[in-house]
Amino acid sequence: MKTRVALAAVVAASCLSATCLAGPAFADTSSKKIALSNNYAGNSWRQAMLKSWATVTSKAVADGVVADAAAFTTAENQATEQAAQIQNLILQGYDAIVVNAASPTALNGAVKEACDAGVTVVSFDGIVTEPCAWRVAVDFRKMGEIQVDYLAERFPEGGNLLEIRGLAGVFVDDEIHKGIEDGVKKHPQFSIVSSVHGDWAQEVAQKAVAGVLPTLPEIKAVVTQGGDGYGAAQAFKGAGREVPTIIMGNRHDELLWWKDQKEATGYETMSVSIAPGVGTLAFWVAQQILDGKEVPKDLIVPFLSVEQDTLDERLAQTEKGGVTNVEYSLTDAQAVISGAK
């Protein structure tokens, strides 16, 4: 999907600037090598992220923008393994490393080593806190909070919530969870009666939810992190319980299930997630830094949401087995950088 969603207005405004009118300059990066260090590939979001990276960077290499843009994924979601991977990438002579980190802090030592060796480090999705690195982030905390805001509009009387979290110990999981807690504090008529980890994977989420359902009271809604909504629905169905309002995470199977329920019973919900293509934005940010551009250390990009009236359109744009996505261009990166300044 090539739609620019909320970023389009920013891009349009940015293109009034001299930088955009002059067009991109690649001369200083044609010999540069950029690597992707990824900590995990065990769900549809990560697979879509890797596919987007390959699509965008292979063209950049073919066009002579950079010399290499290989992707590396660790076998396990372990910070020690990813730290060793980053150290190996330093030794292999990469000029920049784009990192989706297993931990916001545990990789800081390896990231500092990279910076000290003259390597540019840009983190995204799972960001790092080492000051020498750049961060391309979504406001994950807000992404959690808006779920409860939506439920408060739907159910002013409130009710019991089941929370499905992501991978334990990862920055994204912690931030979305904090946002959901913020939402419950703002709307105290809701209460989280149980919380399980679904690891952003449908099968894991289904098993985790099925394990706690026998002990739970009536559930008004399920707040989630993405990749878990369909699994939650199957767990409720398997337990013979009425399926509550489940916040979805832009996965094809979730949107398809939602569409089927909407047509059959008028089922209503919303869906929200970060676009897997955010890694391609991080790639272009790294390229711009290598090209000598001044780039703020912290960049914020919008998340993607699907509403009841946009469901059919978004589903049609989402690959089977994939996630609703945006792949970013150099122009998009320049717009985000300009906006942050």
pLDDT at 180: 98
Q: At the fourth CATH level, which superfamily is domain 7-138+274-306+319-340? A: Response regulator (3.40.50.2300)
pTM greater than the 0.85 cutoff: no
Distance CA 194, CA 179 (A): 16
| Structural tokens at position 54 | 């390959």
Q: How far is CA 227 from CA 8, 230, 233, in A?
A: 26, 8, 12
Distance CA 326, CA 304 (A): 9
- pLDDT tens column, 26-62: 448 999 999 999 998 988 899 999 999 999 999 999 9
Largest CA distance in the chain: 63
Kindly report the average pLDDT of the chain as a whole number: 91
Average pLDDT, integer, range 140-146: 96
- pLDDT tens column, 82-117: 999 999 999 999 999 999 999 999 999 999 999 999
pLDDT at 42: 87
Average pLDDT, integer, range 62-76: 96
**pLDDT higher than 60, residue 135:** yes
Between 161 and 4, residue with greater pLDDT: 161
Distance CA 182, CA 142 (A): 9
Nearest to residue 20, comparing CAs of 277, 293, 281? 293
**pLDDT higher than 90, residue 302:** no
CATH 3.40.50.2300 occupies which residues in the chain? 7-138+274-306+319-340, 140-273
Distance CA 181, CA 247 (A): 15
pLDDT at 76: 85
pLDDT at 22: 37
Does the domain spanning 140-273 belong to CATH 3.40.50.620?
Answer: no
Neighbours of 126 (CB within 10 A): 23
- pLDDT tens column, 225-253: 999 999 999 999 999 999 999 999 999 99
Average pLDDT, integer, range 190-219: 97
If DSSP codes are grouped into helix, strand and coil, which group holds residue 49? helix
